[in-house]
Amino acid sequence: MSEPHDILPSDRLPVTIEEEMRSSYLAYAMSVIVSRALPDVRDGLKPVHRRILYAMRESGFTADKPYRKSARAVGDVMGKYHPHGDSSIYDAMVRMAQSWSMRVRLVDGQGNFGSVDGDSPAAMRYTEARLAKSSSFLLDDIDRDTVAFQPNYDESEQEPQVLPAAFPNLLVNGASGIAVGMATNIPPHNPGEVIDAVLALIANPDMTLEELMQIVPGPDFPTGGIIMGRRGIRQAYETGRGSIPVRARAEIEEIRKDRFAIVVTEIPYQVNKATLQEKIADLVRSKDIEGISDIRDESDRSGMRVVIELKRDATPEVVLNQLYRFTQLQTSFSVNMLALDEGRPRTMGLRDVLDAFIRFREDVILRRARFDLNKARDRGHLLVGLVLAVANIDEVIALIRSAPDAATAREQLMTRTWPAADVEPLLELIHDEGNVIVDGRVHLTEAQARGILELRLQRLTGLEREKIQGELAEVSARITELLEIIGSHVRRMEVMRDELQAARAALADPRCTEISDALGDQSDESLIEPGQMVVTITRDGFIKRTPLELFRSQNRGGRGRTAAGRRGDDIVIRSFNAHTHQWVLFFSSGGKAYRMKVWHLPEAAPTAKGRALVNLLPELGEDTITAVLPLPQDEELWEDLHLVFATASGNVRRNRLSDFRNIRSSGLIAMKLDENDLLIGVATCREGQDVFLATRNARAIRFQITDDVLRVFAGRGSTGVRGIRLADGDRVVSLAVLNHVEASVEERAAYLRAANAHRRVLAAQSGDEGLEEEIEDNSELASDDEGLEEILADSPLSEDRYAELEAQEQILLTVTDTGFGRRSSAYDYRVSGRGGQGINNMTFSNARRGREVVGTLVTLDGTDVMMVTDTGRLIRLPVEQVRVMSRQAGGVTLFRVDGDERIISVFPVMEDDTETEDGAEAEDAASTEGGETAPASSADGDKADD
């Protein structure tokens, strides 16, 4: 026998908790999906919006009536149809009244209904509302059995399951909502374009999506903006899902002299303007966006206007791109066109939504025609009775007078038969089947008998009898038309077309949102401020970029400033000047090449250590970067350029630059190196130019770049050929590419004698204090008053040939490890064959002038050079302050070093607009012996490091 607690009542069954949870959750989910969160594809409304519009119509709050308190409308909706909180109903009503939320407003509000800044609307007891005129196209004919009705929540009222919308409201106003396990986000569209698409689809049901998109190119947001690209639109219209980038409309205006501002007049859909401004201010405070000095909201009744004022040195385009990237000035609208179709959620594309609307609207027209037909037939049936009564008026009057009461009179009128001759054509005309003709006579129906009894005597006049006949003809024509609509699909499409055209005339307006064919995905490069950078690499593999303007220009002999912070004994071994948008090739000690844009490098202050290269180039491994080459910004120039490689052991090789166009992140084999060898330089070159190699022990060689001397290597895996034969302990320290000038040995020698003599004359005339340093190495000087004509008097060169050679002359700067240096003419280095021992590059008369050459590089007038010491100090020096001397000269003091401090790097600064600080000349005049300048203030007010 079972225990008592095991016995269940007869009306209960055991159910597992899993089954109960599953069934209950599914029921709840479907309730939310169908009855709350998702719009219907037919009228584009959720239940709450549908109930608001219907309740306002039933209460008489139409567009032709005065405004009524919003609280009253909310109360009617809540009490009759929507038993939820009044705040949710009021919020839905408010949104339908906001011009920045709805493409076509459905509620006409009066009072404070919020703002695009996110301000809350006033309480519903303060605001007033009525239906907008556009709502009539959703509600018209709802009382003509066009849609099905259902009982309300307590079955005391009837509410429509859907509104008989005369235009595709789902596309026009869009929708958004979150259900259980699904969500919808449909963008608004231009009403004129959407209606035109429906008309085109009616005319040609076989239209393709591409043809439809010629009519509906994309969403049309009420807040305007610019849609960037059409790919996301195409995907959304085809599959129902897609991402559409939307950008604010902003213009750059010059508000004052040399001061610009970004003026925003339209923002993306559903973006809070106040929150947007707060976000911009936060980014400015955190220095994520620089260049903004002020933000003002100048919006008024005439439209939106947010002014973002920029600093004087800011680049407006870059700041604007940064705003697009980091703020909601550019957003992506995630399209998810999910709606209820026949009560089931379905993701639809553009064509699916339009087809569903056309099917629904045809059904509305069909139901309305049937309703109107029944009404017309009822009216025609009554008119037939009136015609019979008028034709037999004497008998009818006699019958009515003899009847004791109205009921008896009605029965007698229905019992008696009447001649059918007068109404037989009419019965056929109105397709009336209520009166049956037997033996030429017809019985009246109850409705006709009642109509006769209610007939007023004035209708018996001749004029009234004609009106009855005319009305009967009209009813007959209307019935014929309705029967044609009911029986013909083509006729229903014609009716739909006419009604759509009427809706278009009332709703269409110009497009708000522009569609740009430009892609909205910004490259990171567009966010980077263009400018010159000093890129610094240390021995331990740290790299950084620093804005060039942070390094002030000093006179020669200055003390410089700290260039980089050091970790232990780490020192700077390579620095160069490049633009932020330039490609840079990195060549490793293992012979591999890597490629990166300058703006990808970490930006840091002059004293910062930077970032380890191994973190930027993970495939670098244990190798170190031994050569770096900034490439031309214009990649079209790469086709005509070659790369020349030089190693410390004196090997050289030539390759096409295009061989290095595609470099994967893991690197690319650039050159095969001998054991213990490394790359010391890579330069771009062209056929016919000259290669110049300088060694540590002051040797140099120059040879021409031709196929006979230095051919183009097809592969990247060779060690190259010998460029210079080195002595024991020597190594190559510099590679340069020079222009080849056709001149004989005699012409070059004559030019050098004349040019050097003329330069010494100019130096003596200018009172250069450093002239004594040069006299130590040059015994011959021209007289102070000797001019170029006198110098050329004994020369084999004519003035024209001298001028020609002068125009093609290149100047080389050679710097020693002790800070001495001099400039020499490239003509001083003869062109020889490849692989020789070279010629002397500099004379070291004593240890003070140097023990080895740090580098030899090409310099241009108007540019600066930078020198870095092993202690991290750096100086920037105009090359004009270093005179051009003989190749044999020991040079002058360029950079005063202390004790064992040594110059380890020299590189050019290719910029001609550097500014010498105020007071530099005075400081130079008050300098100590040897031309050393006193410490001067930097551009930011800090003193230079001693």
What torsion, rounded to 10 degrees, do the Cα atoms 75, 81, 83, 84 define? Answer: -70
**C-alpha closest to that of 815 among 734, 749, 760:** 734
For residue 721, the surrounding DSSP H or E stretch is strand 721-722
**C-alpha closest to that of 797 among 823, 827, 775:** 827
**Domain-embedded: residue 777:** yes
- First CA to last CA across the chain, in angstroms? 105
Q: Running DSSP on this structure, what letter comes out for residue 598?
A: G
- CB-CB contact of 817 with 850 (8 Å): yes
What does each C-alpha distance from 314 to 280, 530, 602 come to in angstroms? 16, 10, 20
- CB-CB contact of 720 with 671 (8 Å): yes
Instruction: Report the amino acid identity of residue 664.
Output: R
Q: 58-105: per-residue pLDDT in tens?
A: 999 999 999 999 999 999 999 999 988 899 999 999 999 999 999 999
Please give the full DSSP string across 231-255, using - where no structure is assigned.
HHHHHHHHHSEEEEEEE-EEEEEEE
Backbone angles phi, psi at 463, to 5 degrees: -65, -40
CATH, residue 476? 1.10.268.10
373/488 same-domain check: yes
**Catalytic residue flag (residue 126):** yes
**Domain-embedded: residue 512:** no
The half-sphere exposure of 202 on its side-chain side, counting CA atoms within 13 A, is 24
Backbone angles phi, psi at 802, to 5 degrees: -60, -45
- CB-CB contact of 553 with 915 (8 Å): yes
- CB-CB contact of 82 with 110 (8 Å): no
Which pLDDT does position 151 carry in this prediction?
93
**C-alpha closest to that of 188 among 155, 160, 159, 223:** 223
Which pLDDT does position 414 carry in this prediction?
84
Q: 453, 470, 501 — which closes off a domain?
A: 501
419/294 same-domain check: no
**Domain-embedded: residue 66:** yes
- CB-CB contact of 162 with 42 (8 Å): yes
Please give the full DSSP string across 524-592, using - where no structure is assigned.
GGGGSPP-EEEEEEETTSEEEEEEGGGS-B--TT---EE----STT--EEEEEEEETT-EEEEEETTSE
311/399 same-domain check: no
**Domain-embedded: residue 38:** no
377/294 same-domain check: no
- CB-CB contact of 813 with 891 (8 Å): no
CATH, residue 280? 3.30.1360.40
Instruction: Report the amino acid identity of residue 516.
Output: S
Q: Running DSSP on this structure, what letter comes out for residue 943?
A: B
**C-alpha closest to that of 108 among 62, 164, 47, 45:** 62
241-247/330-336 β-pairing:
antiparallel
**Domain-embedded: residue 391:** yes
312/381 same-domain check: no
Which pLDDT does position 130 carry in this prediction?
97
Q: Which position among 25, 28, 54, 126 bears the catalytic label?
A: 126
The strands making up 107-110's β-sheet, listed across from edge to edge, are 68-69, 128-131, 107-110
List all residues 6 or more positions away from 465 whose beta carbon is below 8 Å from its beta carbon: 390, 459
Q: Which long-range contacts (CB under 8 A, 24 or more apart) does 803-807 make?
A: 805/741, 805/743, 805/747, 805/748, 805/751, 806/751, 806/755
State the Cα–Cα distance between residues 165 and 53, nearest whole angstrom.
12
**Domain-embedded: residue 112:** yes
Please give the full DSSP string across 829-889, using - where no structure is assigned.
S----TTS--EE-----SGGG-SSEEEEEEE-TT-EEEEEETTSEEEEEEGGGS-EE-TT-
402/303 same-domain check: no
What does each C-alpha distance from 72 to 77, 130, 132, 163, 541 come to in angstroms? 9, 11, 17, 22, 75
List all residues 6 or more positions away from 204 whose beta carbon is below 8 Å from its beta carbon: 211
Q: For residue 643, is it left (φ>0), alpha (ψ between -120 and 50) or beta? A: beta
Beta bridge partners of 812: 824, 858
Say if residue 165 is exposed, middle or buried (CB neighbours under 10 Å; 0-12, 13-18, 19+). Answer: buried
Q: 328, 353, 373 — which closes off a domain?
A: 328
403/493 same-domain check: yes
Q: Where are the beta strands (DSSP E) in 739-780?
A: none
Q: How many residues does the chain have?
A: 946
Q: How far is CA 707 from the centre of its chain?
A: 49
State the Cα–Cα distance between residues 778 and 788, nearest whole angstrom.
19
Q: Which two three-digit tokens encode residue 495?
A: 């009716």
**Domain-embedded: residue 765:** yes
Q: Which long-range contacts (CB under 8 A, 24 or more apart) does 564-569 make?
A: 564/536, 564/538, 564/606, 564/607, 564/608, 564/609, 564/610, 564/872, 564/874, 565/607, 565/608, 565/609, 565/872, 566/538, 566/609, 566/871, 566/872, 567/540, 567/542, 567/609
- CB-CB contact of 722 with 732 (8 Å): no
441/493 same-domain check: yes
For residue 496, the surrounding DSSP H or E stretch is helix 489-507
State the Cα–Cα distance between residues 330 and 323, nearest whole angstrom.
8
**pTM of the entire structure?**
0.63
292/389 same-domain check: no
For residue 107, the surrounding DSSP H or E stretch is strand 107-110
Beta bridge partners of 260: 254
261/311 same-domain check: yes
What is the residue range of 791's domain?
743-805
**C-alpha closest to that of 702 among 613, 834, 791:** 834
What torsion, rounded to 10 degrees, do the Cα atoms 120, 122, 123, 127 define? Answer: -140
State the Cα–Cα distance between residues 312 and 742, nearest whole angstrom.
49
For residue 722, the surrounding DSSP H or E stretch is strand 721-722
Q: 347-359: per-residue pLDDT in tens?
A: 999 999 999 999 9
377/300 same-domain check: no
Q: 164, 196, 226 — which closes off a domain?
A: 164
- CB-CB contact of 750 with 795 (8 Å): yes
Dihedral of CA 418/420/421/426: which sign?
A: positive
CATH, residue 126? 3.90.199.10
Q: Is 712 helix (H, G, I), strand (E, B) or coil?
A: strand
**Domain-embedded: residue 375:** yes
Domain count, the chain: 4
Which pLDDT does position 514 carry in this prediction?
93
Burial string for 456-472 (b: 16+ CB within 10 Å, else e) reads eeeeeeeebbeebeeeb
- Which residue ranges in the chain fall short of pLDDT 70? 1-11, 32, 422, 428-434, 439, 459-463, 518-529, 539, 551-574, 589, 615, 618, 763, 765-791, 793, 909-946
Beta bridge partners of 644: 654, 683
Q: Which two three-digit tokens encode residue 652?
A: 């050289």
319/408 same-domain check: no
